[in-house]
Amino acid sequence: MIVFNQIVTFIFDLIFAPFSGLSPVWGLIFISVVTGLFMLLIFKRVSNQEGIRTVKNHIQAYLLELRLYQHDAGLSVQAFRNVMKSNMKYLGYALKPMLFLFIPVLLIMIQIAVRYEYRSLSVGEQAVLDVSLSEGVQSSEFRLEAPENIRIETPPLFIPDEDRIYWRIRAVSKGEGELVFRYGQKTLNKQIFVDSHREKISPEKVKASSLKSFLYPAEPPLSGKDFLREIHLHYPHQSLTVLGIRIHWLVLFFIFSMITGFMFKNVFGVEI
């Protein structure tokens, strides 16, 4: 999982590299367009194009029949049933390519999210930091150290039922650094950014054996032998500004990838 995440992240670093000096919107538009084209070509290859074309023609014919025989209750009911049956058949044809596309599109969305979902802390801004202790770790022997640009504002709050410790921290100056977690002679680190243009920000650091490590590829995961199971730094969510309107990256991704698909479906001869 670690190697796989590193390879995929490296590939996406190369994809986003040409847009590093531009507004983040341009990189998102580019990857959305590429994703739309990718989905279109995969859909064409793995779907039953002839079956989709036929069932769409049937649906149109039954809809026309509904309109022509709207005053005949018997024929209208029959046409409506045929429309519903054809729609179910169409969904069956569409299900296979959608399942096939699920994993690659999920990988793309994870890589976009690590670049667009969160922003660094601003100077003066507070955040909550919490860690989950591994089994057998004593909270009294555990301590946190922060870099110079971060102030720890509260003593550790230990929740025994969760084996979790909470702090409130505040960004006091611009910079990048690492939070250091100590347990005896052992240490673990978590990156923290203040007013930084860092391209990838991960709010969580979890064990490599956890499925969640698949979702946070920006930092190396924790090992199974580490004294922490999870580190969670509550970075603020960010939104992008387009034409003066603040909008979530997922909305833009969906809009541009779908528009691309419909714009080029006739060019590539794809029946959707």
Condensed to tens digits (0 to 9), the pLDDT of residues 190-230 reads: 999 999 888 899 999 999 888 888 899 999 999 888 999 99
pLDDT at 242: 87
> How many domains does the chain contain in total?
2
Three-state SS for 199?
Answer: coil
Are 180 and 256 part of one and the same domain? no
pLDDT at 211: 81
Structure tokens at 130: 């919490």
Are 76 and 170 part of one and the same domain? no
pLDDT at 40: 95
> Rounded distance, CA 134 to CA 163, Å?
8
**Average pLDDT over every residue of 231-239:** 95
Report whether pLDDT(1) > 80: no
Q: What is the mean pLDDT of the chain?
A: 93
In a domain, 238, yes or no: no
Residue 84 — pLDDT band, cuts 50, 70, 90?
very high
In a domain, 239, yes or no: no
Are 151 and 211 part of one and the same domain? yes
Are 167 and 224 part of one and the same domain? yes
State the DSSP string of 246-258: EE-HHHHHHHHHH
Q: Which of 17-26, 34-43, 161-170, 182-191 has the lowest mean pLDDT?
A: 17-26
Q: At what angle do helices 73-116 and 249-264 cross, to 10 degrees?
A: 120
- Taking alpha carbons only, the member of 239, 143, 146 closest to residue 192 is 146
Mention every residue, 6+ apart, whose C-beta is less than 8 A from residue 270: 40, 41, 43, 44, 49, 264
Report whether pLDDT(263) > 80: yes
**Average pLDDT over every residue of 24-34:** 95
Residue 3 — pLDDT band, cuts 50, 70, 90?
confident
In a domain, 136, yes or no: yes
**Burial classification of residue 206, based on how many CB atoms lie within 10 Å of its CB (0-12 exposed, 13-18 middle, 19 or more buried):** buried
Residue 2 — pLDDT band, cuts 50, 70, 90?
confident
Question: How many C-beta neighbours within 10 Å does residue 246 have?
Answer: 9
**Average pLDDT over every residue of 228-233:** 97
Range of 93's domain?
2-117+245-264
Per-residue pLDDT reduced to its tens digit, 113-167:
999 999 999 999 999 999 999 999 999 899 999 999 999 999 999 999 999 999 9
In a domain, 272, yes or no: no
pLDDT at 251: 95
Q: Residue 133 is inside which H or E element, if any?
A: strand 126-133
Are 171 and 212 part of one and the same domain? yes
**Average pLDDT over every residue of 54-61:** 94
pLDDT at 238: 92
- Taking alpha carbons only, the member of 11, 98, 31, 22 closest to residue 254 is 31
Are 191 and 133 part of one and the same domain? yes
Q: How far is CA 58 from CA 51, 65, 87, 148, in A?
A: 11, 10, 9, 69
In a domain, 185, yes or no: yes
Are 13 and 112 part of one and the same domain? yes
In a domain, 16, yes or no: yes
> Rounded distance, CA 10 to CA 3, Å?
11
Percent of the chain's residues with pLDDT above 90: 81
Residue 108 — pLDDT band, cuts 50, 70, 90?
very high
